[in-house]
Structure formats: structure tokens, C-alpha cells
């Protein structure tokens, strides 16, 4: 009788349902696009469901461009309940650029987001397949170089650090900030932390001038060499891009679900 009861219970176990509820853009730089994919997991059973891992993969033009895993341990999904499981994913812009070259500038690249989680309910293994389709801009990574370093004299002397930035995409971008350090002979000489918004029109080159205030005594030694030997200076940092408003909706491939 006990065996028959267990068989009847396990025979009624249903696999949980997995859907994509949101894709949030957490950060966007010249190097990569950082996303958080939020999966909505529903458990239709009268018993709790366990999920040991949730991995996902971005594919574009039949190539894998990114993957990610949920932070473990993943909380159990209560009986008849639902949970949100976030997965962080970083898409390299160089990898995206390689795929984007197969498409015209200003267009979009279709992608697939796939996952094959395995749930456990009462010791029963329940594999689930998930696929979501959307589009991502065929964005090429902006190119930059340190063009010059000069000195602005006056009551508030400053180094004028000039970068040349080229946006090879047909997509209009906005530079939201620059953060890092100028290094000479491997040693940091000057810190940059600029949040001025700079427009980067598609297919054009712009100059970005960042004034960095200094003390007159700082002109001696290595700091003074920034002007005389600026071609040996290396920039160690990153440029942060402002996320286009349409990117999140484009990634989802559907209207955002309204919160209850």
C-alpha cells in the first residue's frame, strides 16, 4: 500500500515552468555589455522543488557569445509558488562585433537565450528546456587612443587629457563616464574620474578633453613627464557607456511585464 501511494504521488509530479521575466542592463562599457537575466520559475506541485544550478547561454549566428550561472545555493521553490532567479551575463563587445560584421550597420542581430535546468521533486529528476529569442544591436566596439596631454596654466592649473574616440557602429551612443589612471613606467601618475556626458554619433570620431586639477608642486618628477613624454603614458581604466533606452526592450523581444 505504501509503495502504491508513493507511485501515485510521484506519477502526478509535474516539471516546473521556466520563463524569462526581464533582462536588466547593469553596465555597458567599451569592453562588454553586462546583463542580469531574471528567470521566473513556477512550481505547480504540492511539494517544494529544488534546483541545484541554472545555467544560460547566449547564441548569435549559431555561435556562443556569452554564458552565465545563477549564484548557488538557489533557494527552493515552495509548493504551488514561484521564485525569481537572477543570472549575471557579460557579453564581450569584441565577440559581438565579430557576429555583427555579418549584418549591416545600424541593424540588429537575432539571438537565442537557452537554458536546460534540472529540478528535483521528492527525489524525482525533472529536466526542463527553455529558449527565448530576441534581438541585440549589431554594435561594434568604439575605438579610442590617448591623443595628447597638455597643461592649462592659470590660478587653477590642470592637465588636459585628450582622448580620440571613434564609434564605428551605425548606432548612436553616449559616453557616460571615464575612470582609471594614467601610468608612466608602470606607476600610476594621474587619476581620472570624469562623468561628463559625451555624444558618440555613429560612424564618427570625436575628441574628449578631460581637465584634471593639479598642485603646482606636482609638476615636478614623474608628473611633469606627462607633458614631455606623454606618448609613453598608458591609460589603465575603462569608458562607461550610457545604455540606450531601446536596448532592454529589444533584448526582451516583448513588452516588459507590468508588476502586480
E-state strands within 138-224: 143-152, 158-167, 173-184, 187-194, 198-200, 204-213
pTM: predicted TM-score of the whole model, two decimal places: 0.78
3-state secondary structure of 67: strand
CA distances for 129 relative to 25, 230, 251, 255, angstroms: 24, 55, 20, 23
What does the alpha-carbon distance between residue 176 and residue 243 come to, in Å, rounded to a whole number?
9
From-to residues of CATH 2.60.40.10 in the chain: 16-139
21-75 pLDDT, tens per residue?
988 888 899 999 999 999 999 999 999 999 989 999 999 888 899 999 999 999 9
Q: Which helix (H) or strand (E) holds 7?
A: helix 2-11
Strand partners, 188: 183
pLDDT computed for residue 237 by the predictor: 92
Helix, strand, or coil (residue 260) = coil
pLDDT tens digits along 156-172: 778 899 999 999 887 88
Element (H, E) at 112: strand 108-115
Q: In this predicted structure, what is the pLDDT of residue 103?
A: 64
Contact 121, 9 (CB under 8 A): no
At 7 the pLDDT is 38
Structurally, at CATH architecture level, domain 143-242 sits in Sandwich (2.60)
pLDDT along the chain (260 residues), means of 10: 40 87 90 93 94 92 90 93 95 84 69 93 91 84 91 82 90 91 83 91 93 65 67 89 78 56
Which architecture characterizes domain 16-139 according to CATH? Sandwich (2.60)
Question: What is the model's pLDDT at position 243?
Answer: 82
Answer for the pair 148, 162: CB distance below 8 angstroms, yes or no.
yes
In angstroms, the CA 165 to CA 146 distance is: 9
Amino acid at each position: 500500500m505504501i509503495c502504491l501511494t508513493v507511485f501515485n504521488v510521484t506519477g502526478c509530479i509535474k516539471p516546473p515552468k521556466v520563463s524569462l521575466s526581464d533582462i536588466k542592463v547593469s553596465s555597458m562599457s567599451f569592453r562588454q555589455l553586462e546583463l542580469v537575466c531574471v528567470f521566473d520559475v513556477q512550481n505547480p506541485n504540492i511539494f517544494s522543488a529544488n534546483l541545484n544550478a541554472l545555467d544560460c547561454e547566449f547564441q548569435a549566428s549559431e555561435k556562443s557569445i556569452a554564458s552565465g550561472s545563477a549564484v548557488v545555493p538557489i533557494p527552493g521553490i515552495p509548493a504551488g509558488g514561484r521564485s525569481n532567479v537572477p543570472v549575471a551575463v557579460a557579453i564581450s563587445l569584441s565577440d559581438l562585433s565579430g557576429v555583427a560584421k555579418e549584418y549591416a550597420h545600424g541593424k540588429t542581430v537575432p539571438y537565442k537565450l537557452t537554458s536546460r535546468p534540472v529540478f528535483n521533486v521528492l527525489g524525482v529528476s525533472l529536466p526542463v528546456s527553455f529558449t527565448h529569442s530576441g534581438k541585440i544591436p549589431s554594435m561594434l566596439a568604439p575605438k579610442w587612443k590617448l591623443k595628447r596631454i597638455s597643461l592649462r596654466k592659470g590660478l587653477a592649473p590642470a592637465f588636459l587629457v585628450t582622448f580620440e574616440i571613434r564609434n564605428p557602429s551605425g548606432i548612436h551612443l553616449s559616453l557616460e563616464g571615464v575612470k582609471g589612471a594614467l601610468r608612466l613606467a608602470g606607476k600610476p601618475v594621474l587619476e581620472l574620474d570624469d562623468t561628463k556626458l559625451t555624444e558618440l554619433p555613429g560612424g564618427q570620431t570625436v575628441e574628449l578633453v578631460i581637465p584634471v586639477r593639479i598642485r603646482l608642486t606636482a609638476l615636478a618628477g614623474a608628473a611633469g613627464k606627462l607633458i614631455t613624454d606623454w606618448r609613453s603614458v598608458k591609460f589603465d581604466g575603462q569608458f562607461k557607456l550610457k545604455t540606450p533606452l531601446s536596448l532592454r526592450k529589444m533584448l526582451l523581444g516583448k513588452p516588459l511585464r507590468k508588476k502586480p
